[in-house]
Amino acid sequence: MRFVLSIILVLALSGLAELWLPWWSVAVVAFGVALLIGSRPAKAFAMGFCGVGLMWLTVALLYDISNDHILTGRMAKVFSLPNYGLFIVVTVFVGALVGGMGAWSASLLRRGLSKEN
Amino acid sequence: MGKKSSLLIGVILTATTCGLVYVLNRPIGALPALGRLLDPVNGCWANAEPVNEDFSGVRDIPGVLQEVKVWFDDRLTPHIHAQNDRDAYFVQGYIHASFRLWQMDMQTRAAAGRVSEVVGEKALPFDRKQRRKGMVYAAENSLKTGLANPASKLMLEAYTDGINGYMATLTERAMPLEYKLMGFKPEPWTPLKSALLLKYMADDLTGNVDDIALTYLRDAMPADQFALLFPERDTTSSPVIPKGTIFEKPSLAAPLAPSDSAAFPHFTPADFGERREDGKGSNNWVVSGNRTASGAPILCNDPHLALNLPSLWYEIQLQSPGMNVYGASLPGAPGVIIGFNDSVSWGVTNNYRDVKDYYLIKQVAGNSGKYWFAGNQVDFTTRVERIAVKGKPDVVDTVKYTIHGPVMYDDKYKDKTGLQRMLAVCWMGHRGTNEMLAIYNMNRATGYNSFVSAIMNFECPAQNMAYADRQGNIAIWGQGQFVNKWKNQGRYVMDGSDSATLWKELIPMRENPHVLNPERGFVSSANQTVTDASYPYWYNGSFIETRSWRINHVLGGIQKATIQDMCALQQDTYSILAEKMLPKMLSKLNDKASSSEHTIVAALKKWDYKLAADSKEATVYQIWWTNLYWDWWRNRFDKVPDQLWPSVERTMQLLQSDDIDQIGLFSERVNASFVKAMDSVHALEKVNSTKKTDDGGKWYMAKNTSATHLTKLPAFSYDHLKIGGWGNTVNAAKGGHGPSWRMVVQMGKEIEAYAVYPGGQSGNPGSKYYASFLQTWAAGGYNKLHFLPNAASQPNPAIKYTLTLKPKA
C-alpha cells in the first residue's frame, strides 16, 4: 500500500513540478520522495521508475490520442523507429529511468546517512 | 551492505543520475537535447495539436487599438476584420507568427546570411555568399525608403509589433517544434526582417547570372556560331505583350555604346563561376469577358517556386476601412502578394529581364584599398560582415563596395569553381526600392488607373502583372525598374573601370511594356520574352518559351471559357517539346532498337504527348530527350567551366531543321541515347517498384515531385507526389519546384475564386493542418475561397472559429 501511495506521490509531485520547472525536476522529486520515505533500494528504484514513468505516459497518451498520432508518427520517423507506439515507449523509458535513478540514489544515501544500523 | 558502502554507492549513483540528466539536457552533435525534447510536458509532445483544437477565443493584446475579429474557416484560413489599418497589419503579423514563426525566422536568417548561427559551420559558405551579394545592404536600403513613406511605415511597424505581440505570449511549451529540435529560440522581429524577406524573393527571382558564362563563350567560338547557339532573342517567341502592339514613342534615346573592346573584358577557362539554374517559372493569364461563358473576365495565376514545407505561402483575407483583400501572403511580410479585392484581381510571373550585371574591378597595384574608375584611383568603401557560427568563433569577412556594388568574388571569396578575378555585382535589388508600398496600394486598388499607379512602386523583382477587374478590363504589364541600356550592356561581364559601362538613366516605369484590353481577348505570360522587336528599349534576359506556346495556343482557340476550363489549363501536361521532337526522334530509330523495345516504341508512336502522372511513355520520352540533349552538346561544352549550354528551345529549333538530317551523327546520337534511356528506365522500374505497386516506371515515380521541410527531415516531408507535368508543360511540377499557389478568379458581379497550394495553413508538423492541401493540390483539386464582405458580423456557415483580439487597457 505504502509502495503504491509513494508511486502516486512521485507521479503527482513530478507532474506539478514540471509546470514550473525544467524536465529534470522529475529526478529531484523522485530523489526527495525516496529520501523522505525510506525503502529498500530496489523498491525505491521501482517507485521512481513507475512514478515518473506513469506521469510521462499519462501526459504522452493524452497528447497522442487527441492528436490522432500525427506528431508521434513523425517523431518516430525522426528517430528511425518503426511506429508511433515505440516512440511513446522510448519517451516513457527515458523519464522513468531518470526518476528511478533519482530515487535509487536517495535510498542508498539515506541508508548510508541513517543513525540506526 | 554496510552503511559506508551504501553511502559510497549512493554518492556514485547520485553522480551518475546527475550525469545522465546532464547528458540528456544538452545537444550532442546534431542530436537535440533528448530529455528536453522527449519531456511530454514541455518537449515535442506539447506540439501535438489536438485534431479538434478550438481556435476560438478572446484575448487582450497590448498594442491592438480597437477590437479585431479573426474568423477561421474550416481550412483554417483567417479572415481578419480590423477597424483601422494599423490593427489589420498588427493582427496579420500576430496570426503569421502564431502559425509560421519558425519558418519566418529561418527564411529571414537565410536572407541575411545568418544560418550558421543556428546550424553551425556547414551553412557558412551559404551565409558568406549572402553577405557577399549585399543582401543586408539591399534590405537596409529598402527599409530606409519604406520607413520614409507613411503608408509603408505603418505596414512595417504594425506588422512587426503584431509578431512581437504574439512572441510575448509564447511559452517554452508552445514554441514551434523545430526550435526544440534545433535547440535555439526566436528573437524579436524587426522591420528589417520583413525587408530582408522581400530581398530574398527578389534574389531568388533575379539571380540568373549568364553574364559570366557568355563572356567566356563569345570568345570561345566564331561570332556566327555564338549567335546561332545563343541568340539574343528567341524570334519564335509568342511574347507577353502580343506581337503588333504599338508601343509609345520612348522618352529616352538609346545611349551610345562604347567600343566593344572598352566595354567587355575577356575570360579564360580558369576564371569560372556558377552553374545555371533553370526551371523557375510561372504562368498567369486573363481571359476577357467576351470569351468566357459568364461574360466576366477570369484571371489565373500559378507562380512556380520551391515546394517547401511549411509552404512559402499563407492564405489570408484582410479587411479594414477601405480594404478588403484576399489571397496569398508571405509569412514575414505584410499585405497580400497575389490575389484580389472587391474590385480588382492580379497575378504575377517572373519577368526575367536582366537586372543584375557583373563588373571586372581593377584594383590599384600595390594598394588594396583603391580601384581604377574613369582614370582615377577611387577608394573602396567597406562593410564588415560578422557571421556568428554555432559552437565556433565568429567569422569576419570584409566586403569591398565599388561604385557598381559589392565585390562578390575576389581572392578571399572564390566561387566553388575557383574564379580568379575580382568581380563586383550591380543589382537593381540593391537599391532602396519600396515594393511594400506597391503591395499596400495594390491591395486597395479600385480600378485600372489606381492599380497602375500602385505598381509604379514595384521595382524589383520585375514581374509580369496580369490584371482583371469587375468592370471587365484585362491588362498585363511587364513591370519593374529597368535601366536604359546600350545594346549588349550587361549581357557580358563589363569593364568596371570604364565609366561608359555604368548603369545610367532609368526607363520611366510608365513606359514599361503593357497592354490593356488587347484585341485577341486574352493576356498571358509564362516567363517568355516580354515583347517583339518593336519595343524601343534594348534588353536581354533568360526567357523561357515552352509554356507560353502552349498557353497561347489553348487560349487562342477558346470561346466560352469556364472556370473548369481554366483549372484544366493549369493542370495541362501537354509537352510541345515532345510534340515537336518525338516524331523526329522515332523516325531515326533503327530496327534493332525498335524491335527489342517494340512495345514501348509502339506506345510512343500513339502517345498524346501528355506528361501525365501515370504515363510510362512520358518517362521514356523525357529520359530519352535528356540523354539526347546531353549527348548532343556534351563534347562541345563539357570543357566549358560554367556549363552554359544552348537552351532547350534553341536545341529543339536546331535539331528540327532539315540540315540536321544531312548529318549522320544525329541518328547515331538518337539511337545511342535511346539505348541509354531504356537502361535507365528499366533500372528505375526495378528500384521504384515494390511488392505493393508496379508504378516504378510511371512518370510521377521517375520524376519524384516532393514537398520538403526546410530542415530536409524526411519525417516532415512528402515525396513521390502523384502529379504529372514538368518544367516545359503548363503544370510545371518538377522535383522540388512547381506551382506554389494555383488561383482562378472570376471577376463577375459576385467574385468567384478557387485556389490551392502544396502545403497547409499550419507550419506545425504536429498539426492536422500542416500539409492538409497537399494531396488536393497533387490531384489537381481546388478549394473554393470564402471571400467575406467587409462587415463586422458574418453569417457565413463556413466560419468555424472566431478569435477576438481586444486592446489591453
B220, pLDDT greater than 90: no
> What residue in B sits closest to A100 (Cα-Cα)?
B17
Q: Of A28-42, B222-236, B737-751, which has the strongest mean pLDDT? A: B737-751
The predicted pLDDT at position B1 comes to 61
Residue with cell 506554389: B740
B87, pLDDT greater than 50: yes
Query: Span B718-726, mean pLDDT?
Result: 94
B206, pLDDT greater than 90: no
B18, pLDDT greater than 50: yes
Residue B542 neighbours by CB distance under 10 Å? 18
User: Residue length, chain B?
Assistant: 809
Query: Span B528-547, mean pLDDT?
Result: 92
CA distance B73 to B761: 11
Cα–chain-centroid distance for residue B111?
Answer: 13
The predicted pLDDT at position B226 comes to 87
B272, pLDDT greater than 60: no
B170 class by beta-carbon count within 10 Å (0-12 exposed, 13-18 middle, 19+ buried): middle
CA distance A47 to B565: 68
Q: How many Å lie between the alpha carbon of A27 and the closest alpha carbon of chain B?
A: 8
Query: Span B192-215, mean pLDDT?
Result: 87
State the average pLDDT for chain B: 91
B801, pLDDT greater than 60: yes
Q: Cβ A59–B41 below 8 Å, yes or no?
A: yes
CA distance B29 to A57: 28
B452, pLDDT greater than 90: yes
B217, pLDDT greater than 50: yes
The predicted pLDDT at position B277 comes to 42
Q: Cβ A74–B715 below 8 Å, yes or no?
A: yes
Q: Cβ A70–B47 below 8 Å, yes or no?
A: no
The predicted pLDDT at position B418 comes to 58
B628: Cβ contacts below 8 Å, ≥ 6 apart: B585, B669, B670, B673
B689, pLDDT greater than 90: no
- What does each C-alpha distance from B538 to B162, B391, B493 come to in angstroms? 44, 51, 17
B215, pLDDT greater than 90: no
Lowest-confidence segment of A32-41, B543-552, B636-645 by average pLDDT: B636-645
Cell numbers for B186: 526566436
Say if residues B806 and B94 touch (Cβ distance below 8 Å): no
B548, pLDDT greater than 80: yes
Q: Cβ B41–A78 below 8 Å, yes or no?
A: no
CA distance B387 to B489: 35
Cell numbers for B733: 511540377
The predicted pLDDT at position B690 comes to 67
Lowest-confidence segment of A39-48, B197-206, B368-377, B593-602 by average pLDDT: B593-602
Of B14, B36, B766, the CB nearest to A109: B14
CA distance B649 to B230: 11
Query: Span B489-516, mean pLDDT?
Result: 94
Q: Cβ A112–B48 below 8 Å, yes or no?
A: no
Query: Span B496-523, mean pLDDT?
Result: 95
Percent share of chain A, pLDDT over 70 = 97
* For chain B, domain boundaries: 576-609+616-697
Express each pLDDT in B96-128 by its tens digit: 999 999 999 999 999 999 999 999 999 998 999
With DSSP H G I counted as helix, E B as strand and the rest as coil, what are the percentages for chain A, rounded to 5? 80, 0, 20
B612, pLDDT greater than 60: yes
The predicted pLDDT at position B273 comes to 41
The predicted pLDDT at position A39 comes to 82
The predicted pLDDT at position B274 comes to 40
- What does each C-alpha distance from B461 to A12, B68, B457, B458, B536 come to in angstroms? 58, 33, 11, 8, 22
Express each pLDDT in B694-715 by its tens digit: 777 899 998 999 999 999 999 9
> What residue in B sits closest to A102 (Cα-Cα)?
B17
Express each pLDDT in B402-417 by its tens digit: 999 999 988 888 765 5
Percent share of chain B, pLDDT over 70 = 96
Q: How many Å lie between the alpha carbon of A6 and the closest alpha carbon of chain B?
A: 20
The predicted pLDDT at position B276 comes to 40
Task: State whether residue B185 is helix, strand or coil.
Answer: coil
The predicted pLDDT at position B271 comes to 57
Say if residues B133 and B408 touch (Cβ distance below 8 Å): yes
- What does each C-alpha distance from B544 to B7, B162, B338, B625 come to in angstroms? 78, 40, 22, 18
Query: Span A79-93, mean pLDDT?
Result: 94
ipTM score here? 0.95
SS3 annotation, B706-772: CEEECCCCHHHCECCCCCCCCCCCCCCCCCCEEECCEEEEEECCCEEEEEECCCCCCCCCCCCCCCC
Rounded-to-10 torsion of CA B653, B657, B663, B665? 30
Name which residue leads in pLDDT, B688 or B183: B183
Cα–chain-centroid distance for residue A74?
Answer: 24
The predicted pLDDT at position B594 comes to 78
Say if residues B778 and B707 touch (Cβ distance below 8 Å): no
Q: How many Å lie between the alpha carbon of A85 and the closest alpha carbon of chain B?
A: 14
The predicted pLDDT at position B613 comes to 95
B118: Cβ contacts below 8 Å, ≥ 6 apart: B109, B182, B184, B390
Q: Does B21 touch chain A (CB under 8 A)?
A: yes
DSSP B73-117: ETT--EEEE-SSHHHHHHHHHHHHHHHHHHHHHHHHHHHHT-SHH
Cell numbers for B616: 510510362
The predicted pLDDT at position B441 comes to 98
What is the C-alpha radius of gyration for chain B, rounded to an integer number of angstroms?
Answer: 28
Cell numbers for B172: 517554452
CA distance B597 to B678: 8
Report the run of H or E that residue B464 belongs to, with start and end: strand B463-469
Query: Span A55-59, mean pLDDT?
Result: 96
- Tell me which residue of B796, B797, B750, B757 sits closest to B774, measured CA to CA: B757
Residues of A in contact with B767 (CB under 8 A): 70
User: Residue length, chain A?
Assistant: 117
The predicted pLDDT at position B542 comes to 87
CA distance B40 to A60: 5
pLDDT grade, residue B755 (50/70/90)? very high
Q: Does B1 touch chain A (CB under 8 A)?
A: yes
pLDDT grade, residue B795 (50/70/90)? confident
The predicted pLDDT at position B705 comes to 94
